[in-house]
Amino acid sequence: MPAELTFVSPNRARPPRHLADLSPQDRQAAVAELGEKPFRAKQLAQHYFGHLESDTAAMTDLPAASRERLGEALLPRLLTVVRHVTCDGGMTRKTLWRAFDGVMFESVLMRYPDRVTLCVSSQAGCGMNCPFCATGQNGLTRNLSTGEIVDQIVSVARDLERGEVAGGPGRIGNIVFMGMGEPLANYRRVFDAVRRITDPVPGGLGLSQRGVTISTVGLVPAMHKLAAERTQVRLAVSLHAPDDELRDELVPVNNRWPVAEVLDAAWHYADVTGRRVSIEYALIRDINDQAWRADMLGELLAGQLTHVNLIPLNPTPGSKWTASRPEDEREFVRRLQAHGVSVTIRDTRGQEIDGACGQLAAAEK
């Protein structure tokens, strides 16, 4: 592997080009530029995506004289683990990553009896400025590259395969773009990452499109663009309020694309893909958890191909808000169900390690 890259100030340089940034055709061209035979690109991809191997020194089917050159050009080190923090007996693991330029961001691995889910970041920080979210309060540092997104997944998948995570060897089945950042604000790189996640090996990791979820606070043009891709990726809309007056405060982008436009785009996505849209709703005590708001939400969603994920608000430093009372949460569920709306309360995994929804802040200490 190449030597460790020197850190520079954020935004002064782009992340190094990586195999995961490139389509199979572009990989062949890149390998040819190095004076190697084009089929070497497929060999590299087979190791990286198929065997989860990033160290060209271990790729013994490559000529010894070519390994270092190929590694430096196409498999540079993008991410360094700063630390892992675990809870739930090690079944939930938050990873703090440092990128080549010193920028930091987080991902969260969650193991359940029947599935393994990885929550990945698409940006370092977030520019959406939602006041109840720790990530949004820290602001946006920069977009992550496709390679940086994919390398989170490959690195964690490697640890799982090698039995380095509690629970023994395993495989990731679900990828959710619900970590740091607004995925649709980094559309091209996120969608390229989806291709790398779901293309068959050696084109990509070979995960099912139906196991990938992309969340958004409601960037309507990008939602329509995603619908036009006609994938089977699930769309999750972070709504958090059924009325524009409150949503303008909780999700400031609502001032640009109000509730009606966001939901119209969501229903269009469901119509085009046939996939149920998830509505994410963080329950905040005495703010958005009133019974009348549950009725309003139920009326908006009734008859649509949708499911509501109610999220008990996770605490963040300095926040004036807290989670709803249990009795208000139960009534909210009851009111939605009375409108025929499917609803569940999300498992608040990772709260103890600031790894739950809205808590990611990439703090080094």
Active-site amino acid positions = 106, 357
42 by Cβ neighbours in 10 Å (0-12 / 13-18 / 19+) ranks as middle
SS3 289: coil
SS3 call for 259: helix
The alpha carbon of residue 7 and the mean position of all alpha carbons in its chain are separated, in whole angstroms, by 25
153 three-state secondary structure? helix
State the Rg of the chain over Cα: 21
Residues 348/311, Cβ–Cβ less than 8 Å: yes
- Residue 101 is given by DSSP the state T
Contacts 24+ apart (CB under 8 A), 9-14: 9/101, 9/102, 10/101, 10/102, 10/103, 10/124, 10/141, 10/142, 11/101, 11/141, 11/142, 12/101, 13/100, 13/101, 14/145
Closest CA to 201 of 43, 76, 62, 73: 43
Q: Which residues contact 333 (CB under 8 A, 6 or more apart)?
A: 310, 343, 345
The span from the CA of 319 to the CA of 329, in Å, is 20
Helix then strand count (H, E) for the chain reads 11, 12
Strands (E), 144-226: 174-177, 212-216
**Structural contact between residues 170 and 207, judged by C-beta atoms closer than 8 angstroms:** no
The residues pairing with 213 across neighbouring beta strands, listed in sequence order, are: 176, 234
